[in-house]
Amino acid sequence: MKLYSYWRSSAAFRVRIALALKGVSCEQVPVHLLNNGGEQHSAAFQLQNPAELVPALELEQDTLNQSLAIIQYLDDLYPEPALLPADPLQKAKVMALALDIACDIHPLNNLRVLQYLTGPLALDEKQKLAWIHHWLHTGFAALEKRLQHSAALYAAGNAVSLADLCLVPQVYNALRFNLDMTPYPVLLRIYQHCMQQPAFFQAAPEQQPDAQ
């Protein structure tokens, strides 16, 4: 397997955590999202993912895109530790937490959105940061309330789950953008606990071969 990744990509971070948790070795192929106008736009990478986004997981017979789909594939192929509960209701709740982050929070501060804000829409850096903080606060406020009912050591109890794989990269980004995390003590506590675990630390952006 080959994982096309960028060290600061939140979506790639999720997949790296899953690989590390399951002890799966995977060759990393760096795709720099800024150099030369963005290597994700190259003709070579478009063969891996026409959407021009990372991550992409190249298999012998096919290539998968979308981080949650890749993680689901890895979870089916390598069942331990399971990232989704067996119970249908608990599984749906974990998936809902993951989708709250991956679908409703993350896309609004993704690189291509931010580049559009400062490019065609001509926002300055202060305005861009205001955009990022607004949508992070909006998403985190709701997520904090949800986690007050489900969290223990991790987002959905005392076992790591798909929700944590989505939560950790998003909090990492929030800290990078200097978001005040005071209103979100549960999110911050889970993030700090996860980052003390070897798999999360191994998958962290600064630990990647293309980190700058």
Domain 88-199 falls in which CATH fold? Glutathione S-transferase Yfyf (Class Pi); Chain A, domain 2 (1.20.1050)
- Which amino acid type is present at position 143? L
Please report the pLDDT score of residue 212 as a whole number.
82
Average pLDDT, the chain: 97
Extents of the domains making up the chain: 2-81, 88-199
Contact 82, 75 (CB under 8 A): yes
We find that the CATH architecture of domain 2-81 is 3-Layer(aba) Sandwich (3.40)
Length of the chain as a residue count: 212
According to the model, what pLDDT value does residue 167 have? Answer: 98
Low-confidence ranges of the chain (pLDDT < 50): none
User: Tell me, what's the pLDDT at 24?
Assistant: 97
* Closest CA relative to residue 92, chosen from 29, 38, 156: 156
pTM listed for this prediction: 0.96
- Who contacts 151 (Cβ-Cβ below 8 Å, separation ≥6)? 157, 186, 189, 190
Does residue 14 come out as left (phi exceeding 0), alpha (psi in the -120 to 50 range) or beta? Answer: alpha
